[in-house]
Amino acid sequence: MTEVVEQEAKAATGHASKYTRNNPFMSTITVNELLTGEGSEKETRHVELTLDEGMTYTPGDAVGILPENRRQAVDEVLKALGFKGDERVLDHYKVDIDLDEALRTRLAIGKLTRGSVTQFAKLAPEIEGLKVMTGPDNKARAEEYCWGREFVDLATDFPGIVKEPQQLFNILARLTPRMYSIASSQVMHPNDVQTTVRVVRYDAHGRERQGLASGHLGERAPLGAIMPIFLHANQNFRLPEDNSAPVIMIGPGTGIAPFRSFLEERQALGHPGDNWLFFGEQREALDFLYKDQFLGMQKDGVLTRLDTAFSRDQAKKVYVQDRMQERSKELYDWLERGAYFYVCGDATRMAKDVELALLDVIARGSNGTLDHAAEYLATMKKQKRYQRDVY
Q: Which domains does the chain have, with CATH numbers?
A: 3-65+177-232 (2.40.30.10), 71-171 (1.20.990.10), 247-390 (3.40.50.80)
Q: What is the pLDDT of residue 16?
A: 52
pTM: 0.92
* Polymer length of the chain: 391
Angle at which helices 114-122 and 139-146 cross, to 10°: 110
CB atoms within 10 A of CB 312: 14
CB 258 within 8 A of CB 344: yes
With helix as H, strand as E and coil as C, how does 270-296 read?
CCCCCEEEEEEECCHHHHCCCHHHHHH
Q: How far apart are CA 233 and CA 17, in angstroms?
A: 11
345: left (phi over 0), alpha (psi -120 to 50) or beta: left
Q: What is the pLDDT of residue 209?
A: 92
pLDDT averaged over 10-residue windows placed end to end, the chain, 391 residues: 38 59 96 97 98 97 97 97 98 96 97 96 95 93 96 97 98 97 98 97 91 95 97 97 98 98 98 98 98 98 98 96 97 98 95 97 95 97 97 91
Q: Among positive and negative, which fits the CA dihedral 108, 237, 311, 348?
A: negative
Q: How far apart are CA 73 and CA 106, in angstroms?
A: 14
Q: What is the pLDDT of residue 380?
A: 98
